[in-house]
Chain A
Amino acid sequence: MRQLIAVLLVGCSLVCFSPVNGFTGDTEKIPTEMPGSESTAPPAVTDEALTEEDLSDDADLFAEYDTEGENTQTVADPLYYFNYAMFSVNDVLYFYALKPVAQGYKAVVPTVARKGISNFFNNLMFPIRFANNILQGKGDRAVNEVGAFVVNTTVGVLGFYDFAQRHMDMNLPDEDLGQTLGVYGIGDGFYLILPLLGPSTLRDTVGRVGDSFANPLNYVEPWELAWGLEGLDQVNKISFRIGDYEALKEASLDPYVALRNAYIQNRKSLIKE
């Protein structure tokens, strides 16, 4: 009888106290994976003793790294020197070529027209979004894409007026092959900055190449027209985003790392949704 009571008491205490433990968090467990750093943390050097509150705050704080599956691991950057060179090249190209052209374009072309052009190109990229939605198993979104394409091309006059997203409450999130591969579980590979095209990863670059087969602009003859349209698309896009890159540089301590991290975080969030 006594053994039975003992076993029941032990079992009862395990059941009672384990959910509570999971709830408050184990103050000993600190993740040893430091984001992006190879060396282990040196011992804390203080001239004043850390208070009890500080230490428990730390535990909560670091436990947060593991919550909600938020991946704080940095991307591999074995091509650092090449990437840094490309980063500098793109930086110069932006400030001395792309930005002045975009500013001039913005001054000359009214916002309504720019938005129309952006809608036109967005509509044109339907095959890429459609194919990738199918590949990711997002059937309902694929159906949305077809519907929006039909509506925008007809009612929206070749896509210049985005009737579907404005009046039919449809949402057409951007999908590309890089995201599809990410959804399949393929990792970034490594960071790669493409000249002119900007930050990318091995996976996303492969994605770009794949998507180009579904990009209608690639099939336009003669090639001058195809490149001209691509250029128009890019300048038009940048005209809405003048100031973003400058703000990133302004806010960062190390623009190269800031851009790399921002790109990776952005891609991860796109893959998730």
Chain B
Amino acid sequence: MRFRVNTPVTLAFVSCLFIFTMAPLSVLANIEDDAKQKAVQAESYLKKLVDEVLVIVRDPDLIADPPAQEKTLYDKGLEIFDFKTFSMLALGHKYRQFTPRQRADFKTYFSKLISQTYFPKLAGQDVNNISINYLSNRPLKPKKKIFRTDIFTELVRGETKIPIVYRMILRDNDPWKIYDIKIEGVSMAANYREQYSQQVSLSPEDIITQLKEKVE
């Protein structure tokens, strides 16, 4: 059989082929660069947020009034943490058993728990002796235009250095927010996830009640 090559059609076809193969690859490369850039932005944004928290923690008026300090820190926490994602990761597969109302309730109490757990690490006696070193950032693979990044820091308190990794997420229309904290290699979300996975007999309502009793 003899083919007669139709030159213009072949040319058009081959160039289309080329564009279709190259385009996704270049899109991928652009997204990677984008992620790196955003990771750098995340690090400087985190620095700003943590400095703001340190100002609150060092405020003598608030140190004298613990309930007020707790409330101020909690409000700040709502601003810097993405508690929805944090709760999802903390509950793991159990999250699917929760209705939207239960999820909202869980989120409320969980945010209080994290607030009460994390901020005291920055507060305490020698609060003026703390400094935070920002070591590096590492972007995670972006998904559906949601960017995430790990920021590696070190909390220096007097002589001890504690490595803390903040995992941050950037969703549309929101600034960067923290959704997991790894202290000395221990992820808070994973820790709670294992605790919850061991409590097989508890229903969502039981979990919420247990959490509520814990924070109040």
Q: Which residues of A contact B (CB under 8 A)?
A: 1, 5, 8, 12-13, 15-17, 19-20, 23-25, 34-37, 39, 41-42, 44-48, 50-51, 54, 56-58, 60-64, 67-68, 70, 72, 74, 111, 115, 240, 247, 250-254, 257-258, 260-262, 265-266, 268-270
Contacts and interface: CB of A to CB of B under 8 A. Distances in A.
A261 B195 contact: yes
Nearest to B103: A54
Interface string B118-144: 001100000000000000000011011
Contact of A111 (B21, B158, B191, B195): B158
Contact of A41 (B16, B93, B159, B198): B93
Given A111-B158, A253-B195, 16 more contacts: A12-B20, A16-B21, A19-B28, A23-B143, A24-B144, A25-B143, A44-B96, A57-B88, A58-B96, A64-B89, A72-B190, A251-B117, A253-B214, A258-B195, A262-B191, A265-B186
A53 to B, nearest CB: 11
28 contacts: A23-B31, A23-B143, A24-B144, A25-B143, A25-B144, A34-B92, A35-B92, A41-B93, A44-B96, A45-B97, A47-B99, A48-B101, A51-B100, A57-B88, A60-B146, A70-B190, A72-B190, A72-B193, A111-B159, A252-B195, A253-B211, A257-B195, A258-B195, A261-B186, A261-B190, A261-B191, A261-B194, A265-B185
Nearest to B191: A261
Listed residue (A42, A46, A50, A253) with the most chain B CB atoms within 10 angstroms of its CB: A253
A133 B88 CA distance: 39
A178 to B, nearest CB: 14
B113 interface: yes
Contacts of A72: 190, 193-194
B159 A42 contact: no
A41 B141 CA distance: 28
B193 A35 contact: yes
A92 B17 CA distance: 72
A19 B25 contact: yes
Interface of A is mostly: helix
Contact of B141 (A1, A57, A67, A253): A67
A247 B197 contact: no
B204 to A, nearest CB: 8
Listed residue (B24, B25, B146) with the most chain A CB atoms within 10 angstroms of its CB: B24
Nearest to A61: B88
Q: Which 6 A-B pairs have the closest CB atoms?
A: A269-B185, A251-B117, A261-B194, A36-B197, A265-B186, A16-B20
Contact of B113 (A42, A247, A251): A251
A15 B20 contact: yes
Contacts of B28: 19, 23
Nearest to A30: B93
Contacts of B20: 12-13, 15-16
Nearest to B193: A35
A17 B27 CA distance: 12
Interface string B41-68: 0000000000000000000000000000
Contact of A253 (B3, B184, B199): B199
Interface in B183-216: 184-187, 190-200, 210-211, 214
A269 B200 contact: no
B87 to A, nearest CB: 10
Given A67-B141, A254-B198, A54 B92 contact: no
Contact of B120 (A50, A247, A265): A247
Contacts of B100: 46, 48, 50-51, 54
Contacts of A62: 93
Interface in B165-199: 182, 184-187, 190-199
